[in-house]
Amino acid sequence: MGFIDGHLHSVFLSWYDLSLMAEEGIDAIVTLAYMPVPPSSPSSLRDHFEHLMFDKTRCGSIGLRAYVGVGIHPRNIPLNNASNISEYLKVVEDYLGRADLLGEVGLESGSDLELSVLREQLLFAKRTDKPVIIHTPRTNKFRIIEKIIRIIDDVGLSDDRVLLDHLIPSPRIIELVVDRDFYLGFTMQSGKASPEDVLYLVKTEEEFIERIVLNSDSGVYPSYPLAVVEAYEELVEDLDKTVAYRLASLNALRFLEH
């Protein structure tokens, strides 16, 4: 098995980008739901999910296995149509049976509406036994993760079915997750996380070796499709190859195939 990019948005990547990933040793990707603007209707959300399902075939023709996630990203909650949010949630519920996981869902501001939408989607995941990738924001990350964990516990979702993504090596965040069994997503992007951050974490808490998943978050915004490959190449300068490979491949596979 080659590398796995644990979080990206392939519908915004070109054929060239995806081909380059396959050529450079990436065997699988996790492609998640996200739209640069909120869907104007449940039909728009349905069309986005159909696009993701199509992209599974497109990626397969290039040589990439695509694990597809569906869900309502917190920045995609239709604030101008929030009274009909149950109709949008029904679309997620309908498509989750066809998808491999729930994602990308989570919190951005931590508003009551976001909390409600996340809770309902986590209930869908629990009923269907699907893994979940949860977005955490750039700001107020500690406070937001606290809220996310409370919802996870309230729903009764098993820690090992959840990946908390876009994490940073903050001592306060480490304290929140060190005694839990969540998978821990680190985005190899400027302003998010770096191989040095990951190295610090695995040397600080050895048990994180079994739980860290690397990703590029490639898609709409500036990113680099080979970020996971390059992170692995940096990590093997300081870590055993088997450990670095676990972070860049095996942990993601175990999370997805549980």
- 222: exposed, middle or buried (C-beta count within 10 Å: 0-12, 13-18, 19+)? exposed
- 64: exposed, middle or buried (C-beta count within 10 Å: 0-12, 13-18, 19+)? buried
What does the pLDDT look like over 101-151, one tens digit per residue?
999 999 999 999 999 999 999 999 999 999 999 999 999 999 999 999 999
**Residue 220 DSSP label:** S
Nearest to 213 by CA among 228, 226, 230: 228
Identify whether the C-beta of residue 55 lies closer than 8 Å to the C-beta of residue 82.
Answer: no
Partners of residue 66 on adjacent β-strands: 29
DSSP 63-89: T-EEEEEE---GGGS-GGGGGGHHHHH
C-alpha span between 146 and 55 (Å, rounded): 34
Identify whether the C-beta of residue 116 lies closer than 8 Å to the C-beta of residue 110.
Answer: no
The CATH number of residue 245's host domain is 3.20.20.140
The pair of structure tokens assigned to 218 is 């490639």
H-state helical runs in the chain: 15-23, 42-62, 85-96, 112-128, 141-155, 171-177, 195-204, 227-235, 241-245, 251-257
What does the pLDDT look like over 9-34, one tens digit per residue?
999 999 999 999 999 999 999 999 99
Residue 82: per-residue pLDDT: 75
The pair of structure tokens assigned to 164 is 């908390």
Nearest to 202 by CA among 193, 211, 194: 211
| Beta strand pairing call for 162-164 and 3-8 | unpaired
Report the domain count for the chain: 1
Query: What residue type is 228 in one-letter code?
Result: V
C-alpha span between 170 and 51 (Å, rounded): 36
Residue 123: per-residue pLDDT: 98
Cα(first)–Cα(last) distance of the chain, in Å? 17
Residue 79: per-residue pLDDT: 85
**Structural domain of 34:** 3-257
Q: Is 231 left (phi over 0), alpha (psi -120 to 50) or beta?
A: alpha
pTM of the entire structure? Answer: 0.97
CA-angle at 252, arms to 210 and 228, nearest 5°? 100
Residue 83: per-residue pLDDT: 83
**Ranges of the chain whose pLDDT falls below 70:** none
